[in-house]
């Protein structure tokens, strides 16, 4: 069965109650995992960038906005406990090596995700490798040489490679779903999936029909909420439809064998002349 990850990312807006509501949405819909993002603000951004003006619910600088979105250890402990209570897996994409060490505390997480933005961060990738966890790589913005370099470091720890376009939301003409086939041909030793940034659910179902073994998509309570990822996210009704459609599609794909079903036999007797 296709693994389905609902990415909460930073759509919780720094509110643990919103995070729990999104975990509930994913669990109730039948998703396998939820995903978060972890950053050490001072390591990911320069002081100059953090000091730039930016209006947000938390203040008037980039620093206040970034700090407002970031969960601390106590909140991640609560996420870990809540996901165990709800019986849904969780994992995260660390954006710096301190965040990798932070996530290493949570020994039950099934994967570490290397986001598209981090695929060329060799120091980060080398630290991720030390955790000895299965790894998911996303390919947005990346050349084949850049992906190959990451794969050469991580080797057999790579569990999934996700086809991805890093625009939010992604236009139809930039989805490039056939890239799933390209990845399956060029990396047959790995499972290939699809990371969605389109605002609809249609292409996720198409990706499964094309052989995606994992789909990952951003979720939100309401696209009108504050946040840069909200517009490319799927609301609760869409999350439920996505899981229902994918599970239905998996059954409908069948075996591909030439088949006359028993349910067709009576119809065959009525309609065939001989």
Q: How far apart are CA 111 and CA 133, in angstroms?
A: 6
Low-confidence ranges of the chain (pLDDT < 50): none
DSSP class per residue in 194-259: EEE-SSSSHHHHHHHHTT-SEEEEEB-S-TTSSSTTGGGSB-HHHHHHHHHHHHHHHHHT------
pLDDT for res 122 = 96
pLDDT for res 191 = 98
Q: Which two tokens stand for residue 147?
A: 């992906």
pLDDT for res 226 = 95
Distance of CA 200 to the CA centre of its chain: 15
Look up the pTM and report it. 0.95
* Cα angle 211-217-219, degrees, rounded to a multiple of 5: 150
Check: CB of residue 124 under 8 Å from CB of residue 142.
no
Cα dist from 153 to 119, 133, 147, 189, 194, whole Å: 11, 14, 10, 15, 22
Q: How far apart are CA 140 and CA 243, in angstroms?
A: 23
Give residue-wise pLDDT tens across range 43-75: 999 999 999 999 999 999 999 999 999 999 999
Virtual torsion, Cα 18, 21, 27, 32, nearest 10 deg: 0
pLDDT for res 109 = 96
Total domains in the chain come to 1
Instruction: For residue 225, give its domain range.
Output: 3-271
pLDDT for res 160 = 98
Q: What is the CATH number of the domain that holds 251?
A: 3.20.20.70
pLDDT for res 273 = 82
């Amino acid at each position: 069965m296709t693994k389905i990850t609902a990415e909460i990312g930073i759509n919780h807006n720094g509110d643990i109650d919103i995070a729990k509501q999104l975990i509930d949405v994913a669990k109730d819909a039948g998703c396998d995992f939820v995903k978060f993002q972890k950053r050490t603000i001072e390591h990911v951004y320069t002081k100059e960038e953090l000091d730039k003006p930016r209006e947000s619910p938390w203040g008037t600088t980039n620093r206040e906005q970034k700090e407002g979105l970031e969960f601390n250890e106590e909140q991640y402990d609560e996420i870990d406990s809540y996901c165990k209570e709800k019986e849904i897996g969780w994992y995260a994409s660390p954006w710096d090596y301190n965040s990798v060490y932070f996530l290493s505390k949570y020994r039950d997480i099934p994967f570490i995700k290397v986001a598209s933005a981090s695929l060329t961060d060799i120091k980060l990738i080398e630290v991720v490798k030390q955790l000895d966890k299965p790894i998911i790589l996303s390919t947005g913005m990346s050349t084949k040489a850049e992906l190959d370099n990451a794969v050469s470091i991580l080797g057999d720890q790579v569990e999934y490679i996700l086809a991805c376009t890093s625009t939010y939301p992604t236009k139809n003409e930039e989805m490039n779903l056939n890239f799933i086939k390209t990845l399956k041909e060029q990396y047959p030793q790995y499972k290939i999936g699809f990371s969605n940034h389109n605002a609809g659910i249609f292409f996720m179902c198409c990706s499964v029909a094309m052989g995606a073994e994992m789909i990952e998509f951003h979720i939100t309570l309401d696209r009108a909420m504050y946040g840069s990822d909200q517009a490319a996210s799927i609301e609760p009704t869409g999350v439920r439809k996505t899981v229902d459609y994918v599970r239905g599609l998996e059954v409908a794909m069948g075996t591909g064998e030439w088949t006359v079903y028993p349910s067709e036999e009576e119809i065959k007797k009525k309609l065939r002349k001989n």
